Amino acid sequence: LFLTYLAEAGWTAEGRVVGVTQPRRVAAVSVAGRVADERGAVLGHEVGYCIRFDDCTDPQATRIKFLTDGMLVREMMADPLLTRYSPVPDYIKSTVETAMKIHQMENDGDILAFLTGQEEVETVVSMLIEQARALSRTGMKKHLRVLPMYAGLPSPDQMKVFERVSRSVRKVIVATNVAETSITIHGIAYVIDCGFVKLRAYNPKTAIECLVVVPVSKASANQRAGRAGRNRSGKCYRLYTAVPRSSVTEASAGLHMCLYFTGVGFCFPQPPPAQSMVQALELLYALGGLDMHCRLTEPLGMRIAEFPLNPMFAKMLLESGNFGCSQEILTIAAMMQIQNIFLIPPNQKSQAARQHRKFAVEEGDHLTMLNVYEAFVKVSQCKRMWICGNVKNLGLVYLNTVLITSVPCLCYKETCFSFLSPRVVYNEVIQTAKYYMRDVTAIESAWLVELAPHFYQQGTVRNRHKAQTVPLLC
């Protein structure tokens, strides 16, 4: 319903598109289908979706587009400014725009906008007054009365927010969190929540108390939303951005490529954690994709950035040709996508284990997967088509990486890895009561030094707990 409002409010005018990012492909496809049905549109025409290997949109007709986060990053590499969309990283500007759109498109009812402090409130009040004057010159009959509300405001000015206005006037109250609780302003039908609040924080090291802007709590967000609809039905517009909680390595490579071609820098609406960025840059450097000055190398770094894949996976595919094993790498990658390639019926575990051992390779799981695939292909053309359908999803698989950590890990119970090795590669680590590695294969320490001498070197370290010297890769 909200997307329909945006489309009808003019957000899709002049060839622009309302883009809706989804974390999963299934979500993008299913939600796009539902919205198309609700609007009575044909999926792929006015409403479409774009996921990896499947672009169900019409460049000329699509106005509401569902896509995964990764596909939006890929679009940004070709169009760094995302000229067909209207991203708004500044919640102050977004607050003004949202208030004006409500005023022009929504029914009667006053507006309450939450910001973090007096300076922001006064800035938004000035911007709204200026835009309201410009709008009145166009002949719009309904006028805006813009009022501030914050703790330092004189009491007579604060009381103005409770004054009733005529039907030809809509109030817009721009407030801090002082309007969040305890008071009820009659006539509020729309709330705009910036998602942040300014709170006092005490630093015991410096003995200084300061005001810091932090994300609003869930309880406060609910309180703000509750300001709308006290006396009538209402709506709450939340101008929230998602906090990155995943690896930014692939995005970092793409952003480096955009910077290389356009010189355009990037300001994250919500910056990822510094440690995540450092790890992403470190990994790209280890892969040979970045030089000492954090610039993409040529041609390797540029080619890694062009792949719509995890950089480690892209590097593996690029290198596989040099070793004459591209087909095998593609096969293993496709098989790694499957949650569990072996079916284990609850009442036939021993029989299943005997069948599984026919494919097992003692060095690890990856060659075992290759054996399973090769045996599967020989069965029938029907099943061969199923395998081919899975191969095109290989980009969703994370490449194995060497574990360098003090956290002890065990091999997952379903692994075919059958002997101890000081060095392994793995697909993922699962944390339950303990840490388990899945899809494990043994490697030799010398391979790391040979293939990545810029990142690994042979050395020793003395164990602090035992008077002995143990090998170390650092």
Domains of the chain in sequence order: 2-78 (no CATH), 91-238 (3.40.50.300), 246-316 (1.20.120.1080), 325-443 (no CATH)
Orientation of helix 365-377 relative to helix 326-336, angle to 10° = 100
Encoded tokens for 156:
């007579």
Higher pLDDT, 321 or 386: 321
User: What is the rounded CA–CA span in Å between residue 230 and residue 238?
Assistant: 18
Query: Considering the chain, what percentage of its residues have pLDDT values greater than 90?
Result: 18
> Using 50, 70 and 90 to split pLDDT, how confident is the model at 99?
very high
Q: Which residues pair with 198 in a beta bridge?
A: 213
pLDDT tens-digit readout, 226-278: 888 777 788 999 887 544 444 555 555 555 555 444 344 555 656 667 777 78
Residue 349 DSSP SS3: helix
pLDDT at residue 400 in the model: 31
Across the beta sheet with 188-193, the strand order is: 143-149, 169-175, 110-114, 188-193, 235-238
User: What is the rounded CA–CA span in Å between residue 414 and residue 50?
Assistant: 35
Mean of pLDDT values over 404-412 = 45
Contact assessment for residue 141 and residue 135, using Cβ atoms and an 8 Å cutoff: no
User: What is the rounded CA–CA span in Å between residue 175 and residue 196?
Assistant: 12
**Does residue 192 carry a pLDDT above 90?**
yes
Q: Which residues pair with 196 in a beta bridge?
A: 215
Name every residue whose Cβ is closer than 8 Å to that of residue 207 and which is 6 or more positions away in sequence. none
Q: Which residues pair with 20 in a beta bridge?
A: 66
> Using 50, 70 and 90 to split pLDDT, how confident is the model at 112?
very high
Mean of pLDDT values over 47-68 = 91
**Does residue 341 carry a pLDDT above 50?**
yes
pLDDT at residue 28 in the model: 92
In the block, tokens 């709330």 appear at 191
In the block, tokens 């490529």 appear at 257
Contact assessment for residue 199 and residue 211, using Cβ atoms and an 8 Å cutoff: yes
In the block, tokens 């009733």 appear at 164
- State in Å, rounded, how far the first CA of the chain is from the last one: 55
**Does residue 26 carry a pLDDT above 50?**
yes
> What's the pTM?
0.45
Contact assessment for residue 114 and residue 194, using Cβ atoms and an 8 Å cutoff: yes
Name every residue whose Cβ is closer than 8 Å to that of residue 116 and which is 6 or more positions away in sequence. 176, 194, 196, 197, 198, 213
pLDDT at residue 401 in the model: 31
Closest CA to 70 of 204, 270, 235, 253: 253
Whole-number average pLDDT of the chain: 76
Name every residue whose Cβ is closer than 8 Å to that of residue 444 and which is 6 or more positions away in sequence. 423
pLDDT at residue 55 in the model: 92
Higher pLDDT, 364 or 387: 364
> Using 50, 70 and 90 to split pLDDT, how confident is the model at 353?
confident
> Using 50, 70 and 90 to split pLDDT, how confident is the model at 10?
confident
Strands (E) across 258-324 are located at: none
> Using 50, 70 and 90 to split pLDDT, how confident is the model at 1?
low
> Using 50, 70 and 90 to split pLDDT, how confident is the model at 348?
confident
Higher pLDDT, 89 or 239: 239
**Does residue 469 carry a pLDDT above 50?**
no
> Using 50, 70 and 90 to split pLDDT, how confident is the model at 58?
very high
**Does residue 393 carry a pLDDT above 50?**
no
Mean of pLDDT values over 145-150 = 93
User: What is the rounded CA–CA span in Å between residue 66 and residue 236?
Assistant: 23
Mean of pLDDT values over 324-339 = 80
Contact assessment for residue 352 and residue 342, using Cβ atoms and an 8 Å cutoff: yes
What number of other Cβ atoms are within 10 A of residue 210's Cβ? 10
pLDDT at residue 127 in the model: 92
Closest CA to 177 of 212, 210, 151: 151
Mean of pLDDT values over 209-236 = 84
Q: Which residues pair with 169 in a beta bridge?
A: 143
**DSSP category for residue 247:** -
